[in-house]
Amino acid sequence: MVQKLILEIRAGAGGDEAAIFAGEMVRMYQKYAAKRGWGFSVLDSSPTTLGGYKNLMAQIKGENAYEDLKNESGVHRVQRVPKTEKSGRVHTSTISVAILPEVEPKQVNINNSDLEITTFRSSGPGGQNVQKVETGVRILHRPTGVVVTSQNERSQFQNKENAMTALRSKIYEAQRSMEFAKLGAERREQIGTADRSEKMRTYNFPDDRITDHRVGKKFHNIEKILEGDMDPIVNAFKKQQTPS
């Protein structure tokens, strides 16, 4: 079954190194999506000068996409010697990942009067046209305080559509958690605080080992996995969820 989802990645503890790792994770999901024949569209991003991201939001569409990626939600912790480290010490940094199912407009009741919509000049990859026209769109949903932005399309209309899609997904999660007045317990569990002590998966580069703390499994060859070879991890969750 073709499924749509919103992927959200945010750099957590660790400064530049966390942003660099966020960039590597973005590319991992991008390459895995390409391998699976899924669509991957960036809706909004805040890139850094070192090739990473402070945050990124994307839409993924494909066969069983949500089912196969839903377990990626949570805090991912990386342990390695950063490129920016002069003394060779191993640092620990974190990013947070949220996988939100894309929902139809009829599944979420959003009143237009609850929305504060503003436009801005996009810094996305749309060329000179993007710089001259306010094509970027920012939407605030006042009752929940949820804010989404979209700026990677050339047209303001398309950016608004993309932002509304992301907004529906976030509010749907909040409603499902019965915490409509704030972001929602389920989403807070997914995103976490991105503190170093909070983790669901650890990427240990010195030992070339990825440990998923929920299924209690270890995976090796980090570089291969970061190149999009995520099948061993995805299949480990499928195996755990299949009744014996």
Tally Cβ neighbours within 10 Å of residue 154. 16
Q: 181, exposed or middle or buried, with CB in 10 Å at 0-12, 13-18, 19+?
A: exposed
Residue 169 DSSP code: H
Q: Where are any strands of DSSP class E within 106-241?
A: 115-120, 136-141, 146-150, 201-204, 209-212, 217-220
Question: Which value, in Å, is the radius of gyration of the alpha carbons in the chain?
Answer: 18
Per cent of the chain over pLDDT 70 is: 85
Asked if the model's pLDDT at residue 135 lies above 50, the reply is yes
pLDDT in tens, 55-83: 999 999 999 999 999 999 999 999 999 87
Average pLDDT over residues 38-46: 91
pLDDT in tens, 145-167: 888 898 888 888 888 988 998 89
Enumerate the CATH 3.30.160.20 domain ranges in the chain, comma separated: 105-176
Query: Is residue 168 within 8 Å of residue 153, measured between CB atoms?
Result: no
Enter the pTM of the model.
0.78
pLDDT at 187: 52
Name the class of domain 105-176: alpha beta
pLDDT at 243: 55
CATH topology for the 2-101+189-239 domain: Alpha-Beta Plaits (3.30.70)
pLDDT at 173: 77
Enumerate the CATH 3.30.70.1660 domain ranges in the chain, comma separated: 2-101+189-239
Beta bridge partners of 75: 96
pLDDT at 128: 43
**What is the average pLDDT score of the chain?**
84
Nearest to 85 by CA among 18, 17, 139, 32: 17
Residue at 117: amino acid letter: I
Half-sphere exposure of 185 (CA within 13 A, CB side): 4
pLDDT band at residue 182 using 50, 70 and 90 as cut-offs: very low
Average pLDDT over residues 94-110: 87
Asked if the model's pLDDT at residue 140 lies above 90, the reply is yes
